[in-house]
Amino acid sequence: MQIQELQQQIDAIQIAALEAIKAASNLKELDQVRVQYLGKKGELTGLMKMIKSVPNEDKPKVGQLVNGGRTVIEEAIELAKDGLKAKELEEQLKREAVDVTLPGRTQVMGNRHVLTQIMEEIEDLFISMGYQVVDGFELETDHYNFEMMNLPQNHPARDMQDTFYINDELLLRTHTSPVQARMMEQHDFTKGPLKMISPGRVFRRDDDDATHSHQFHQVEGLVVAKDISLADLKGTLDLFAKSLFGAERETRLRPSYFPFTEPSVEVDVSCFKCGGKGCNVCKHTGWIEILGCGLVHPNVLEMAGVDHTVYSGFAFGIGADRIAMLKYGIDDIRHLYQNDVRFLEQF
């Protein structure tokens, strides 16, 4: 082939390549163009192979021409590559751009169950008075749930607490009081007084209705030390009532009966709705019963290994469901267990 002819071919390839480079709209297409012209089987590479068939003296010239064409195409590709890269980056940025003016997605906020809130409020109050908070067992023994609470077999007061028995010895605790006995047994009274509350779930074989639930919540309280009197109990529960129902509230003690306390009392708080004048909340008495309590019965102390001639104590049992219902005017205890979000959201 004549040198001149070769030059023409190279020019033609070059023009076609430059057109193709210009037409490539992305990096992939551009690479295809590179392969088509400069690759192993590319058009320019094909021309280079012809070098074998030209006379020796022409070989340098042929090499120079083909390589010259190659360089032009390579440079054009590099240039186009830079342009396409910039274009793709710009597109990517556009795609991924965040519109900070768009309104945010609002999160639905959960909140703690109204009973949890009441229990935590009670816990916080007693913690601030130096009480420890302890967990008990929901699955208890007859021994701790009844015997140690001065309720021996066949004691009539057992009937007050209809019980889910698992077998002869195991049951679902009917009250949080057994935690008292467990704690007194463990406590080292030479190191100081025992002050504890124990919040938790309790169970009774009741048919559920507006005021009964087979499962509800109590907070047990116990203080045992030297010289504990009814006055200490009254002072403590007065503070409790004021803290939960308002500083203007007053409390009164009414004699009552529990097997594990002597004397036993029930505590009423002056009605927070009518202030004592009488309304439907206090059933027109001006007072609302909020809990049972008393001085720990000597038998209970003795059975737990505490010398009742040296130590005395008071105990109380708060019905957390009842407190929540009173405080928020909830008229049906089942609302607390049905988990209707429309109800729960209000607290």
Binding site for ligand DAH (CB under 6 A): 175, 177, 220, 258, 261, 292-294, 315-317
Lookup: tokens for 130: 């130096």
Half-sphere CA count of 327, side-chain side, radius 13 A = 21
Distance in Å, CB of 173 to ligand DAH, minimum: 9
Distance in Å, CB of 111 to ligand DAH, minimum: 29
- Pair 189, 224: CB distance under 8 Å: yes
Distance in Å, CB of 326 to ligand DAH, minimum: 16
- Strand ranges in 81-177 using DSSP code E only, listed in sequence order: 132-133, 139-141, 170-172
Give whichever of 76 and 149 is closer to ligand DAH, judged by the CB atom: 149
Q: Nearest to ligand DAH by Cβ — which residue?
A: 317
Distance in Å, CB of 317 to ligand DAH, minimum: 2
For 33-76, the DSSP string reads HHHHHHSTT-HHHHHHHGGGGS-GGGHHHHHHHHHHHHHHHHHH
Give whichever of 261 and 312 is closer to ligand DAH, judged by the CB atom: 261
Give whichever of 69 and 294 is closer to ligand DAH, judged by the CB atom: 294
- Return the closest-CA partner of residue 296 out of 318, 319, 316, 273: 316
Give whichever of 37 and 287 is closer to ligand DAH, judged by the CB atom: 287
Helix, coil or strand: residue 148: helix
Give whichever of 70 and 204 is closer to ligand DAH, judged by the CB atom: 204
Distance in Å, CB of 225 to ligand DAH, minimum: 16
Give whichever of 175 and 322 is closer to ligand DAH, judged by the CB atom: 175
Distance in Å, CB of 340 to ligand DAH, minimum: 27
Determine the distance from the C-alpha atom of residue 226 to the mean position of all C-alpha atoms in its chain, rounded to a whole number: 42
Determine the distance from the C-alpha atom of residue 84 to the mean position of all C-alpha atoms in its chain, rounded to a whole number: 50
- Pair 41, 53: CB distance under 8 Å: no
Q: Which residues pair with 60 in a beta bridge?
A: none
